[in-house]
Amino acid sequence: MSELAWLTVAEAAELLRAKKLSPVEYAKALIDRVEKHDKHLNAFLRFTPEIALDDARRAEEEIMRGGWRGPFHGVPYGLKDIVDYAGLPTTAHSKILRDNIAAGDAVVAQKLRVAGGVFMGKMSTHEFALGGPSFDLPWPPARNPWNRDHFCGGSSSGSGAATAAGFLPAAIGTDTGGSVRNPAAMCGVVGMKPTYGAVSRRGVLPLAFSLDHVGPLTRTVRDNALMLDAIAGHDPLDPGSANRATGGCTAGLERGVKRLRVGVIRHFYMRDMQADPEMTAGIEAAVEVLGRLGAQVREIATAPLGDYVACNRIILTSEAFAIHEKWMCERPQDYGALTRERLMAGAFVRAADYVNATRVRRRLADAFHALFDGIDVAVTASSMDPACRIDDPKAIEYTYARQARAPFNVTGSPALCVPAGFGRSGLPLAMQIVGKPWSEALVYRVAHAYEQATGWVKMHPEFE
């Protein structure tokens, strides 16, 4: 059973298609694991083993008849609890939406249902994907599988924790200022924020309309590419969706990085904000690996990190407050204290500041995209620090802001967080690989080459 917990999506798909593994057997193994261990991690906000077994039985019957829907047929997954699944509450981890029953599936949930996926449940999040790990909400915060006394990142916290813990091979998260890539960094898994508009957000509770992305969390790069292929595509009913062909994210995964041009944005983590020495060492070691694999590595410069962060903050807080204004006026006491505090910041942003931030955003994005005339991908930090303790609010507030993820919500670029080793404490280190818009396949190709050269993904937390 423990071996089944660490199957990748690609490995499971091969076994399932060949009828060497039963979808029901696979689902039962993961259900048993969740029931045994999640009481210590709180990755699931709503665990749905009955639905999982029903999905697994249908998948098994179809496979036995010779039907095959693709690599997610019979594979378990979870949804961050701001993503609608028909008939279940979408709570956003908040008292305000405790009884908010979804009338239908979000587009990403529908796509995974059509792909034959086995739905395991709704994953813990930060309240409305904004507040941090709070203890004044109806459900406890998720914890880090590598050390449950530590933060697992957020706001897609349960999705990252469950994937790292072997509860699921894949999960859906969302990312407005880094909320897929933060738990990926903290939990030692792979998290992608795709190009803005690549994945429909219809049926997903918004945080900031112009910055929101939906993305996958998995344990390997190949699995992440497979999941993005499954969920991407144009949705004419999502105003932010791009009418552009998607797919082919696994194309060229094995081509390596020889002669690819890699630009390293060192000033983000060495000058603009000094990263923890262990994190810096992990990123620099990763860059050396890419160089040894044949990539042409050079340092590049962008606008200062603080410019991107300030632009992201003004847009995010303004748009978030616009969404929550009615509840903030009528039910402020029903928010957790941290969410309420963060939302209130948006009430004090002037319209002129918001408009100017959107203009600055365009200039920042254009300048960043222009860098790709001379490089193929960029590499930089994701988090500046390894995970801190979850019971230290000052440390969480300090480290949460120390990141280089927000720039790529501003630019809309595809940005992938991948494991880059472990610190002395045994907690994961990570780096970020970024491409120009619609270059996900190339980003995955670089990440896969690094992953294969290092083998960090073969290491798993021990809490048996």
Expressed in percent and rounded to 5, the helix, strand and coil fractions of the chain are 45, 15, 40
In the set 94, 124, 157, 179, the catalytic residue is 179
pTM summary value? 0.97
Q: How far is CA 265 from the centre of its chain?
A: 21
CB count in 10 Å sphere of residue 449: 23
**pLDDT tens, 107-122?**
999 999 999 999 999 9
What are the Cα distances from residue 61, in Å, to 24, 56, 64, 156?
10, 9, 5, 33
Active site residue 22: no
User: What is the rounded distance in angstroms from the CA atom of residue 113 to the CA atom of residue 316?
Assistant: 31
**Three-state secondary structure call for residue 114:** helix
Lowest mean pLDDT among 1-15, 92-106, 312-326: 1-15
> Does residue 1 carry a pLDDT above 60?
no
Lowest mean pLDDT among 1-5, 193-197, 378-382, 458-462: 1-5
User: What is the rounded distance in angstroms from the CA atom of residue 305 to the CA atom of residue 272?
Assistant: 6
Which residues does residue 432 pair with via DSSP β-bridges, in sequence order? 380, 417
In the set 155, 156, 157, 413, the catalytic residue is 155
For tokens 């000094």, the residue is 274
Active site residue 159: no
**pLDDT tens, 173-227?**
999 999 999 999 999 999 999 999 999 999 999 999 999 999 999 999 999 999 9
Portion of the chain with pLDDT greater than 70, in percent: 99
At residue 464, the pLDDT reads: 63
8-state DSSP, 457: G
**pLDDT tens, 331-343?**
999 999 999 999 9
Rounded to 5 degrees, what are φ and ψ at 115?
A: -75, -5
At residue 89, the pLDDT reads: 98
**pLDDT tens, 431-449?**
999 999 999 999 999 999 9
Any residues with CB less than 8 A from the CB of 201 and at least 6 apart, and which?
107, 174, 212, 213, 214, 238, 240, 241
User: What is the rounded distance in angstroms from the CA atom of residue 439 to the CA atom of residue 246?
Assistant: 10
User: Mean pLDDT across the chain, nearest whole number?
Assistant: 97
At residue 463, the pLDDT reads: 74
Q: How far is CA 127 from the centre of its chain?
A: 16
Portion of the chain with pLDDT greater than 90, in percent: 98
- Mean pLDDT, residues 227-240 taken together: 98
User: What is the rounded distance in angstroms from the CA atom of residue 246 to the CA atom of residue 267?
Assistant: 33
- How many helices (H) and strands (E) the chain has is answered by 16, 11
Q: Residue 111 has which token pair?
A: 């796509």
At residue 131, the pLDDT reads: 85
In the set 80, 111, 122, 436, the catalytic residue is 80
- Mean pLDDT, residues 250-261 taken together: 96
CATH number for the region 2-458 comes to 3.90.1300.10
Q: Residue 224 has which token pair?
A: 């992440």
Active site residue 80: yes
**pLDDT tens, 50-87?**
999 999 999 999 999 999 999 999 999 999 999 999 99
> Does residue 48 carry a pLDDT above 90?
yes
- What are the residue boundaries of the structural domains of the chain, listed by start? 2-458
